[in-house]
Structure 1
Amino acid sequence: MASHLIIFLTLTNFLFILPSTLAQPAAPAPGPAGPINVTDILLKGGQYTAFLRLLNQTRVLDQLANQLNNSDQGMTLLAPTDNAFLNLPSGTLNGLKEEEQVKLVLYHVLPKYYSLDDLDTVSNPVPTQAGSNHGSLGLNFTARQNQVNVSSGVVESQINNALRQAFPFAVYSVDKLLLPASFSDAPAPESSSSTPAGKPANGPSAPADAGSPPAKNAGGKRMDMGVGLVGGVVLFFMAFL
């Protein structure tokens, strides 16, 4: 009898608990990831203010967002640090035209997603967004003792860490601004110690021997004095004849 009572009470509790359990809504399934915010990625990195400003000035930032949303290949961004900009020769960026600045920024964008392992074994040169043809304005990647380096042919930099490494977008930090070889043809500014040929270091000066009569005139005077002396001697002797 007692056992029947225990079974009855257990079944009664189960009947009360079951409806409340069924009434609870199921946990919502995770929704799709939101759009990738390049600005947030660089700001969280903490040392990419100059590059972010250049991305905004050239409007490449908007271009990146549009391409990321419409690309099935993904993209890779090489982000120079603020120190990379500070170490540039004075006037490097200001000396570039607007379209050259755009090309410089796009030179840091690879039109495909690459993990660090991919860059370790990738076939060089890797095309960038700055080149219209495959391999034009490309970059070369090499691996040395678990360290991946990137070279433009003019500048070589280490890839120090990944700010983001998840498809469809990877962002890697570089410690130098990658200048294309085509940007290295501009003549270097003239040193302040150098002077044009034939020009004194302290500015223009009077011609050599200025203030002295020319040699030709001095010779003419000496000749006149000699003729006068001879004439005087001749007249002296004629006086005694």
Structure 2
Amino acid sequence: MCSLFRCSSASSLLLAFGMAVVTASPVVMSIPISAQNAVPTLLTSTSKTTFSDIKANYWARPFIQAIVERNIIDGFADGTFRPDRPVKRAEFAVMLQKAFEQKRVRQLNAGGFKDVPPNYWAASAIKEAYETGFMPGYPANLFLPKQQVGKFEAIAALANGLGLTATAPASNILNGSYTDAPIIPNYAADAVAAATQANLVVNYPNVKKLDPLEPLTRASAAALLYQALVWQERVEPLPSNLKTANYIVADVNQNNQTPNDVVTVTASDSSFSILSSLLKTAGLAVILQHPNNSMTIFAPTDEAFANLPKGTLEWLQQPENRETLIRVLTYHVVPRKRQVSELSEGKLKTFAGKAVNIQVNSLTHQTTVNNAKILQSNIQASNGIIHAINQVLIPPNINLSKK
């Protein structure tokens, strides 16, 4: 087992861990609406990527082409894409419904929204966008489906629905990234900061100007959705040599800090001091810091390690027991970034080769790994995501009581 962790190249590391790059082609379509209960005529061809109003040098052309090629969004029957057309709340709800498969985190009341009748063309999408946490309603039980979506609202919706959280103060991220940060509404600041840190935000023509109160356009919606799919590792990032990539906002705070990989994040949190120390003892720290690794770590807190049988922790730290320590620690790591909302009932194979059992209580929204409860979820890192748990997970082929 130890030999697996002596690999020097990125490719051999991935093979050692049994990691696979998962690429999926989601089906997302923005439905432009000209009447409340009618869907307009769209192009019947899903392979067309050329539009009369999208020139070769149009700033969002790579985003638009990519999502059209993947049947994510269509143009109009007249051969146009209408990139500057504002997106309405009902349209955005449909985009979200077809882009993501998130778990419900709340329930819409039986009567639904007063301004969304049961036969409304986007009724199911609106219900799902609300219940999955992407889009809120308004007072008096209204959704306002025909209201235009502000750019900051769309960014916040993606951050909230995807469960993004920032790893630095929101004010630091926003003030360092945007010249117009002061006009971002306070209630959306944390969500916009989290989306910024996750590289979801795209600003044209000035990457430093968010224009948060401007309406979301179809072109901007395509860019934001594409970047969200990049974050989920369902599509590839745009090549850095494309001019369009220059409009993707990078969190400037990360340029002046140690890279926020999973090991660095755990080391900076006092709740994980024991885990951080054990990763170094096992020789796993360098491997888990590799920028090309994508993983989810179920991280036991210090209290969880303290609850192990007396003498167990000390035994694991002895050099002759390093292989067992590696097997225990890698049993807490699974391939790919997985938000807590992406964890579903069943077995999930770990880097140790053994599977953990995921259970989700739909009533309490409590997710457990084996018998360990997730105490804090979706702690973001540059190469993974961390969920704090209240117990140390022991692989089924290891019996520490007979050490």
**1:139-176: per-residue Cα shift (whole Å, max 9, x none)?**
0111112000110xxxx110011251477511010011
Change in CA separation of 1:169 and 1:187 when aligned onto 2, cut-off 3 Å: closer
Question: What is residue 357 of structure 2 aligned with on the other side?
Answer: 140
Identity over aligned pairs, percent: 26
Point out where structure 2 has 5 or more consecutive residues left out of the alignment: 1-205, 209-245
3-state SS in 2 of match to 1:183? coil
Q: Indicate the residue corresponding to 2:387 in structure 1.
A: 172
Q: Secondary structure at the match of 2:388?
A: strand
> How many angstroms apart in 1 are the aligned matches of 2:376 and 2:369?
13
Change (3 A) 1:54 1:109: same
Tell me which protein shows more strand as a share of its residues.
1
Q: Distance in 1 between matches of 2:337 and 2:393?
A: 19
Hey, what's the Cα distance between the residues in 2 that align with 1:128 and 1:168?
A: 16
**Contact kept in structure 2, 1:93 and 1:101, CA below 8 Å:** no
CA gap of 1:65–1:176, structure 2 versus 1, over 3 A, is same
Indicate yes or no: 2:272 matched with 1:48: yes
CA contact (8 A) 1:76 1:110 kept: yes
Q: How far apart, CA to CA, are the structure 1 residues paired with 2:282 and 2:333?
A: 13
Question: How far apart are residue 44 of structure 1 and its match?
Answer: 4.0
2:82 counterpart of 1:82: no
Query: Which residue, out of 64, 83, 91, partners 2:311?
Result: 91
Counterpart Cα distance in 2 of 1:118 and 1:43: 25
Larger Rg: 1
Q: For 1:129 and 1:112, locate their aligned partners in 2 and report how far apart those are by CA, in whole Å.
A: 11
**CA-CA distance at 1:27 after TM superposition:** 6.5
Amino acid paired to 1:89:
P
- Give the aligned partner of residue 80 of structure 2: none
Report the AA paired with residue 375 of structure 2.
N
Distance 2:383 2:287 in 1: 15
Change in 2 beyond 3 A, CA 1:168/1:63: closer
Q: 1:37 aligns with which of 241, 254, 261?
A: 261
Report the Cα offset of residue 111 of structure 1: 1.3
- Cα gap change, 1:148/1:167 in structure 2, threshold over 3 Å: closer, same or farther? farther
Contact 1:77 1:171 in 2 (8 A): yes
Structure 1 residues 41-70: Cα deviation after superposition (integer angstroms, max 9, x where no partner): 22443211111000111111111112xx22
SS for the counterpart of 2:348 is: coil
Matched, 1:161 2:376: yes
Q: Which amino acid aligns with 2:356?
A: L
> What is aligned with 1:128?
350
Closer/same/farther in 2, CA of residues 166 and 38 from structure 1, 3 Å limit: closer
1:100 to 319, 324, 328: 324
Tell me the CA shift for residue 36 of structure 1: 3.1
Q: Is the 8 A contact 1:45 1:163 kept in 2?
A: no
| Alpha-carbon distance in structure 2 between the residues aligned to 1:114 and 1:161 | 14
Alpha-carbon separation, structure 2, partners of 1:160 and 1:50: 17
Q: Are residues 31 and 41 of structure 1, via their aligned partners in 2, closer, same or farther at CA, if it must alter by over 3 Å?
A: same
* Residue of structure 1 equivalent to 2:285: 61
1:180 is displaced (CA, Å) by 1.3
**Higher mean C-alpha displacement, 29-38 vs 107-116:** 29-38
Indicate yes or no: 2:398 matched with 1:183: yes
Structure 1 runs not aligned, ≥5 long: 1-25, 132-136, 189-241
Shift of 1:93: 3.2
CA distance in 2, matches of 1:47, 1:138: 25
Structure 2 distance, partners of 1:164, 1:108, is 15
Residues 102-129 of structure 1 deviation map (CA, whole Å, 9 limit, x = unaligned): 111111111121111111x25x210101
2:337 paired with 1:113: yes
In the other structure, the counterpart of 2:42 is none
**Are residues 125 and 43 of structure 1, via their aligned partners in 2, closer, same or farther at CA, if it must alter by over 3 Å?**
same
**2:375 touches 2:387 (CA, 8 Å); kept in 1?**
yes
